[in-house]
C-alpha cells in the first residue's frame, strides 16, 4: 500500500525544522548504507546520534504515534528512529531495497522494516529532480510531496531518489515494524477501519457498526504478531 498523509507538520513548524536542518552538520550518506545500497547512495545524512536529529526525530514520532491515519495504516509495533538526508545538486540514490532488519544504534533493539516512511521538509518548488520513485504491485509511482507531508510504502519495494538538478531536498526517513507483517493484510485492515470511521460519522447508530468493528478486531487478533 502506498499512502500520502498531508499536513503532518504545518508551515510554521516546517520552516523551523528546515532552518535547523539547513545549518546542521551533514555527513556522507553512506554511513548508514548496507554494502549493496552503498554503491548506489550519493547524498548527505545526519549522524544517528546527532543532537538535532534526536530532537526532530522525537517530534516526528510524538506526532505520528497519535495520528489516527498513520496508526490505522501502519499498526506500529516498533520503530527505527527517524534519520535525515540532504540531496544537493547532482546527488541521488539509485534503485535499492531497504534492509529487512535494522539494529538501533547503541541498543539491543532490532526492527523488522515492514513500512518505509518519508517526511518531506523542502517545498517542491524550491528544487528540481529529487522525486522518490517506487516500484511495487501498485506499479511505478513518482512522488514529490509538499513540505510537511509524508509518504508510506512497503519497505520491500524497489525504489530510488532521482538526481537533484537545482536546489536542495531535505527529508526524514524511517522504518516501522508493524503488528501485521503482510502488506496486503494491513491494507485490508486499513480500508475496513476507514469504512468503520466513515459509517460512524454518518450513521453512528447503524446496527452493522458493532459487527464490522468486531470483525476488524478479530482479524487483527488473528494476524497480529506481538
Domain closes at, from 178, 193, 213? 178
Tell me, what CATH number does 190's domain have? 4.10.860
Q: Are 79 and 116 spatial neighbours (Cβ–Cβ below 8 Å)? A: no
Same domain, 151 and 164: yes
Give the residue numbers spanning the domain of 93: 3-178
The answer to whether 96 is a known ligand-binding residue is yes
The sign of the torsion formed by the CA atoms of 176, 179, 185, 191 equals negative
Q: Counting beta carbons within 10 angstroms of the beta carbon of residue 77, is it exposed (0 to 12), middle (13 to 18) or buried (19 or more)? A: middle
Quote the pLDDT of residue 36.
Answer: 60
pTM: 0.93
At residue 23 the predicted structure's pLDDT band, cuts being 50, 70 and 90, is: very high
The answer to whether 206 is a known ligand-binding residue is no
The answer to whether 42 is a known ligand-binding residue is no
Same domain, 167 and 187: no
Same domain, 17 and 80: yes
CA distance 219 to 224: 8
Helix then strand then coil, % of the chain, to nearest 5:
35, 30, 30
* Chain centroid, CA 217 distance in Å: 25
Tell me, what CATH number does 134's domain have? 2.60.120.620
**Who wins on pLDDT, 113 or 32?**
113
Domain closes at, from 145, 161, 178? 178
Quote the pLDDT of residue 29.
Answer: 85
CA distance 124 to 100: 30
Q: Counting beta carbons within 10 angstroms of the beta carbon of residue 216, is it exposed (0 to 12), middle (13 to 18) or buried (19 or more)? A: middle
Q: Which set of grid coordinates corresponds to residue 159?
A: 525504489
Same domain, 168 and 188: no
* Percentage, residues of the chain above pLDDT 90: 89
Same domain, 98 and 159: yes
| 170-213: pLDDT as tens digits | 999 999 999 999 999 999 999 999 999 999 999 988 888 999 99
Same domain, 121 and 165: yes
Amino acid at each position: 500500500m502506498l499512502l500520502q498523509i498531508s499536513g503532518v507538520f504545518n508551515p510554521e513548524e516546517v520552516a523551523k525544522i528546515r532552518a535547523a536542518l539547513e545549518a546542521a552538520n551533514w555527513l556522507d550518506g553512506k554511513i548508514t548504507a548496507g554494502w549493496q545500497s552503498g554503491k548506489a547512495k550519493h547524498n548527505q545524512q545526519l549522524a544517528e546520534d546527532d543532537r538535532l536529529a534526536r530532537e526532530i526525530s522525537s517530534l516526528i514520532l510524538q506526532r505520528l504515534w497519535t495520528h489516527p491515519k498513520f496508526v490505522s495504516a501502519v499498526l506500529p509495533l516498533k520503530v527505527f528512529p527517524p534519520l535525515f538526508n540532504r540531496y544537493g545538486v547532482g546527488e541521488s540514490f539509485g534503485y535499492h531495497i531497504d534492509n529487512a532488519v535494522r539494529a538501533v544504534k547503541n541498543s539491543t533493539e532490532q526492527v523488522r522494516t515492514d513500512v518505509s516512511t518519508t517526511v518531506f521538509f523542502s517545498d517542491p518548488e524550491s528544487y528540481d529532480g529529487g522525486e522518490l520513485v517506487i516500484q511495487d504491485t501498485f506499479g511505478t509511482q513518482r512522488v514529490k510531496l509538499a513540505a510537511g507531508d509524508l509518504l508510506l510504502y512497503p519497505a520491500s519495494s524497489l525504489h530510488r531518489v532521482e538526481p537533484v538538478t537545482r536546489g536542495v531536498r531535505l527529508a526524514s526517513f524511517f522504518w516501522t515494524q508493524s503488528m501485521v507483517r503482510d502488506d496486503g493484510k494491513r491494507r485490508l485492515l486499513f480500508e475496513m477501519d476507514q469504512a468503520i470511521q466513515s459509517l460512524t460519522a454518518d450513521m453512528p447508530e447503524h446496527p452493522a457498526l458493532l459487527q464490522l468493528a468486531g470483525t476488524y478486531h478479530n482479524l487483527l487478533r488473528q494476524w497480529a504478531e506481538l
